[in-house]
Amino acid sequence: MEKEKKPKSAQAISIRIALPALLTIVLFVTATFIIILPTLKNSLLDKKREMLRELNTIVWDTVAFYEKLAREGTLSHEQAQKAVLGIIETLRYGPTNKDYFWVNDMNGLIVVHPYRPELQGEIVPDVRFPIGKNLLEEFVKVVQTQGAGYVEYMFQWQDDPEKIVPKLSYVRGFKPWGWVIGTGMYIDDVNVEIGLIAKQLNAVATAILLLVSFLALYIIRHSILADRVRRIIWEERERLLVALEESGERFRALVETTSDWIWETNVEGEYTYCSPKVNDLLGFLPEELIGKHLVDLVSIQEVERTSRIFKKLMESRKSFSGFETVCQARDGRVIVIEKNGVPVFNDSGELTGYRGVARDISERKNALEALRKSRDDLRVSLEETVKSLALAAEKRDPYTAGHQARVDYIACSIAREIGLSEERIEGLHFAALLHDIGKISLPSEYLAKPARLSTQERAIIKCHSEVGYEILKNIPFPWPVAEIVYQHHEHLDGSGYPRGLTDRDILLEAKILTVADVVEAMSSHRPYRPSLGLETAIEEIRSGRGVLYHAESVDACLRLIAEKKIDLTASAW
């Protein structure tokens, strides 16, 4: 039974494909030869008639020009007529350059005829009338009644007096001289053009017929093969529809049970969809929010900020995340909502809105705020602890009291001048306050000795960098404070102490601290000498620039001093 149905199905498919193709060919041929060709012929005739009128007008204007010359006395009447008739006699146009103009008078006599000069002063019979009716009288009659018009008649073929064919002429009277100016075309010319077009259409129709036939056979063959695939596709489609329905149910359940609020808005920011979770978050039913703008839910203080940010998001046409809005729930609670969204475009690429998820981050915000406060409290505590340590070191060395604070001021100024980040400047700040903490272990008589230290005493003093490192290394600073303190007497060329590090091994913060320490120490009084002066300090870092001291830090320090952004005079301390 199935085997019988298959051939019938294939035959039905073939007929359904072949019949429209055949009807298309019939309609094409009918439209071409019954509608298009006659219409084309009429259109072509109309264009030819218009062409005759325009050409006749050109010659008429030429005659009028010469008549004006005669009236003005530039030429005599006879000279003007002779000149213009000479022009008319030589005028030709058309595909073979054999179409012409003639002139007859209002008495029905030829004035000039390019191909029949012997007719000058004669009448011209219309060959349709055996009795020899005067054709020129027909032209005169049209001019007398209409001023200008068309006349159909039979006349010789161009310069062949033996061949008589249909012709259409346009005549126009020139009243000042009593002339009738005319030109015409042969109807056969139009028929020849139509014939050429018909041949071309026949060729096109034949080509189309063959092409359509080939395509029909090709389609029939492949339709039979496709019928088998179609049945497979339909079966697969049924399976996909079932799977899609199951997937839709799962997605719907997911949307309705997820802990996040799923939403959609149009380009104006009005909600077009809200999942049920919004009721848990804000106390509104989903249908209550449809058509409302997202700013309708935010607190009054947040309306301007939220509107501004939303406008930027819409203009960017990009995905966004972490967009926080402070919303007010139905019961008056203030809730911080975080939204993540993606743009939605239509088939034309136009933005239609956004789609995304939102969640309550109030608890997280409160936790972050508490954490931030705790961090700030720790920073304050750290600051006070460090200052206390620095003060303890200064108690051991009262002659250099304030040295660490002044070095801190100079070092942080240099760091800002060269563009160091605030995070690193904060670490440098603590290192500067603690850079001489190691002196707490030195004998007080060394620190307060009014004379220069001996070699052995200087060697002991130099240990303060390493002692400072040992004191600080186990403190969990978020910056390498201990290492900066360890390196603050190192020089770029390796001549510093305690480890003889070179440029690439020294931290940038330590390089800055070294310059600040040298400038402050030389500008201040010491137990064993008075202040060497600011100029001496400047000369020291300038001469050691790039060799002992970090060049960029030296330049920044000199610039700050020159611009008086820091004051290092002894009186200022």
pLDDT in tens, 206-243: 777 677 777 767 776 776 676 677 677 777 878 887 77
The pLDDT assigned to 6 comes to 46
State the DSSP string of 445-500.
Answer: HHHT-SSPPPHHHHHHHTTHHHHHHHHHTTS--SS-HHHHHHHTT--TBS-SSSS-
> Is 375-572 in the same CATH topology as 2-189?
no
Dist CA 74 CA 80 (whole Å): 9
Q: Nearest Cα to 553, choosing from 492, 512, 507?
A: 512
What are residue 349's phi and psi, to 5 degrees?
A: 80, 10
pTM tops 0.95, yes or no: no
% of the chain exceeding 70 in pLDDT: 78
Strands 351-360 and 110-112: unpaired
329: which residues sit within 8 A by CB, 6+ positions away?
A: 281, 282, 283, 335
* Model confidence band, residue 412 (pLDDT cutoffs 50, 70, 90): very high
Dist CA 17 CA 542 (whole Å): 96
* Model confidence band, residue 177 (pLDDT cutoffs 50, 70, 90): very high
Dist CA 406 CA 569 (whole Å): 12
**CATH architecture of the region 2-189:** 2-Layer Sandwich (3.30)
**CATH architecture of the region 260-363:** 2-Layer Sandwich (3.30)
Dist CA 249 CA 101 (whole Å): 88
Worst-scoring range by mean pLDDT, 79-83, 145-149, 244-248, 364-368? 244-248
What are residue 492's phi and psi, to 5 degrees?
A: -60, -35
Dist CA 237 CA 226 (whole Å): 16
* Model confidence band, residue 400 (pLDDT cutoffs 50, 70, 90): low
Q: Structural domain boundaries of the chain?
A: 2-189, 210-257, 260-363, 375-572
Q: Nearest Cα to 395, choosing from 436, 367, 351?
A: 436
| Residue linked to tokens 């404070």 | 481
pLDDT by residue (tens digit) across 273-302? Answer: 888 888 878 888 888 888 888 778 887 777
The pLDDT assigned to 65 comes to 94
**CATH architecture of the region 375-572:** Orthogonal Bundle (1.10)
For 122-204, where are the E strands, in sequence order?
Answer: 148-157, 160-174, 179-186
